[in-house]
Amino acid sequence: MAVEYVTYQGIKFPPAYNSERSLRFAHKEFQVQDDDVFNVTYPKSGTVWMIEILSLIRSGGDPAWNRAVLNSTRMPWFATHLGLESALSYPRPRLLTCHLPVQLFPTSFFGSRAKVVYTLRNPKDVLVSYFYFSKMCSSYKDPESFEQFLQDFLSGNVPHGSWFDHVRGWMEMKGKENFFFITYEELQQDLRGSVRRLCQFLEQELDDRAINSVVENASFRAMKENKMCNSTLLPRDIMDQEKGTFLRKGICGDWKNHFTVAQSEAFDRIYHDRMGGLTEAFPWDAR
């Protein structure tokens, strides 16, 4: 069946759980509370990983909650119709998730003391992960080819819009007290140190034992085994597990197995054009 994306303010969203109404509500009417913590990402940047980390931190390192309750209930997708219900009945302080670009984020956030954790990832790895994800998700168009998907990604013609705009938009928040950004690559390289930094930002003290438990239970291996976060419980008409695996490889640099030299050079040119002027140097910028 042909997929028709929902469009809100010029950005496409997958139709499964999103509607123009749910997106408008999230943007204009959703009431942010000062003690809310938001997990914000562009797709395929480590969203579900961060859900595990943040919920483990919230439960002081005890994995019982992560093992018993679905990730989408632990950190509801408040901009979708299903997620909104969970978000509205969630006891404070809430943990919430979304892929919204900053210009569509709840207006009530700005001026609040709520916190945002923004996770970003090497866009070439995002692209590869997004390519495989689109194949297994029924609410995404099946990519015609890797080359076509690359062109669509570069021009922002994919659900959730342009990676470049998303990152540039959110990075404007850099330096604000209630904004914390981290990369997938840093999580990979030093999960323990990353968890410590997150705890500091969240003003939640965890002892060494609790931190060890967060690190252990948020590992790729532990997450693969946990049905509450490995997506295997999603119905087939949402995610077809025969067409792929949500927790696919979980590595940095898989793009090297997919891009030709010409594709990589073309990508780099656009990357430098679009990201020029951003003072931040990300781990993948190191030559």
Under the rule (CB under 6 A), what is the footprint of ligand A3P?
41, 43-49, 125, 129, 132, 218-220, 223, 247-250, 254
Q: Residue 54 Cβ, how far from ligand A3P at the closest point, in Å?
A: 13
- Which of 24/284 has CB closer to ligand A3P? 284
Least Cβ distance, residue 43 to ligand A3P (angstroms): 6
Helices (H), the chain: 20-24, 47-58, 64-68, 71-74, 81-88, 123-136, 146-155, 163-171, 184-189, 191-202, 208-217, 220-225, 261-275
What are the two backbone dihedrals, phi and then psi, of residue 52, each rounded to the nearest 5 degrees? -60, -45
Nearer Cβ to ligand A3P, position 86 or 119? Answer: 119
Q: How far is the CB of 36 from ligand A3P (least distance, A)?
A: 20
Cα 138 from Cα 7, distance rounded (Å): 17
Residue 11 bridge partners (DSSP): 8
The SS3 of residue 251 is: coil
Please check whether residue 255 is in contact with residue 125, taking contact to mean a CB–CB distance below 8 angstroms: yes
Alpha-carbon gap, residue 17 to 6, rounded angstroms: 10
Annotation marks residue 99 as catalytic: yes
Tokens of 253: 């640099």
User: Which residue lies nearer to ligand A3P by CB, 84 or 215?
Assistant: 215
Shortest distance (Å) from residue 57 CB to ligand A3P: 14
By beta-carbon proximity to ligand A3P, the closer residue of 86 and 217 is 217
Among residues 99, 160, 258, 272, the one annotated as catalytic is 99
Cα–Cα distance, 20 to 276 (Å, whole number): 33
Is cis: bond before 93, omega within 30 of 0? yes
**Shortest gap between Cβ of 92 and ligand A3P (angstroms)?**
25
If the CB atoms of residues 110 and 220 are measured against ligand A3P, the closer one turns out to be 220
Nearer to ligand A3P, 193 or 269 (CB): 193
C-beta pairs of 223-229 under 8 Å, 24+ apart in sequence:
223/48, 223/49, 223/52, 223/247, 226/66, 226/67, 228/66, 228/67, 228/68, 228/69, 228/70, 228/71, 229/48, 229/51, 229/52, 229/66, 229/70, 229/71
Which residues are catalytically annotated? 99
